[in-house]
Amino acid sequence: MSNFDTIGQQLITLSRSLGEPSRDLAILGEGNTSAKLDDDLFLVKASGYNLASLDEEGLITVRYSKLKGALDGEPVGDARTREILLNAREVQEGSKMPSVETYLHGFLLSLPDIMFVGHTHPTAVNALSCSVNAQNAFSGMLFPDEIVSCGVAVCYVEYTDPGIVLAQYLRRKVLEFVDRYDAPPRVIVMQNHGLIATGKTPTEVENATIMFVKACRVRLGTYAAGGPHFLPLEHVNRIHTRPDEHYRKRLIG
C-alpha cells in the first residue's frame, strides 16, 4: 500500500469516528480533518462532505507551499481565498474544493509532532467557548488525565473571520504557545466556534478530543459549584514530566 492509501485510510477511520452523530462532536457538515503525507503534501476533507460518511471521494491532496504565501501576506477577499485553495490542489481537475479551514490545517501540519488534525464542534466545548466565561474557562488545566491526553495548556483563540484571517491569527497564537511551552498545543479552542485536536497518530487526536470534551463537562459542573479550581502550575508540570505518566501516555496513545 502507498503512503496515501495507509494515511488516507487512517484519516477516513478517524473522520468517521469523530463524525459519529451520537458522540455529539460534529453533526451534518460540521468539522474537518487532515493528515500529513510529506513535507509539502497533506490530505484534507473537501468542503460539503460529512465526517460521518467520509470516503476517499471526500479527501483532497493539497500542497502547503501553495498556501503559505497567503498566510504570510495581507488578508485577501473571499474570491481570492477560493482561487488560492483551488490552485493548491495537487490534481487540478473537478470542482471539489478544499475546506476553507485548509489554511490552518496546512500550518498545523507543518509543525513538528503534528501528523493528524481533527476539528470538531462538541456541545460541551462550545457551551463554554460561546459563554461569557470562555477566556477564564480555558486558562488552566483541571485534572491529571486532562494533562496526559491534552497537554499542559489549552491554546485559546478569540473569534475571528473564518479562512485566511483566522488561520493567520491562529498561527500567531500557536507560535506564542510553542515559545512558551516548547511544544505545539494538543488542543486549541476557537471562541464561538469549536475545538482542534492535534497528534502524531489518529489515536492521539481521538483521545485528546474525548478527554477534552470530558474536561469541558467538568468545567461546566465547576461553574455550578462556584467556579473551576485549576491545578497549580507546579503540579501541571509534575504530571507532564512524571515517568509513570509518560508510560501511561504511551500505553493509551
Q: Judged by CB, which is closer to Zn ion: 109, or 148?
A: 109
Q: Is the Cβ of residue 25 or residue 35 nearer to Zn ion in the bound state? A: 25
Decide if 13 contacts 52 (C-beta within 8 A).
no
**Which positions touch Zn ion (CB under 5 A)?**
194
CB atoms within 10 A of CB 230: 17
DSSP summary character for residue 197? E
Least CB distance to Zn ion at residue 167 (A): 12
Identify whether the C-beta of residue 184 lies closer than 8 Å to the C-beta of residue 104. no
CB of 177 to Zn ion, least distance (A): 20
Question: CB nearest Zn ion: which residue?
Answer: 194
Question: Given the complex with Zn ion, which of 104 and 231 has the nearer CB atom?
Answer: 104
Q: Which is nearer to Zn ion, 58 or 194 (CB)?
A: 194
Beta bridge partners of 42: 36, 62
Pick between residue 114 and residue 166 the one whose CB is nearest to Zn ion.
166
Dihedral over Cα of 145, 190, 61, 63: its sign: negative
Least distance (Å) between residue 157 CB and Zn ion: 12
Q: Minimum distance from CB of 119 to Zn ion (Å)?
A: 6
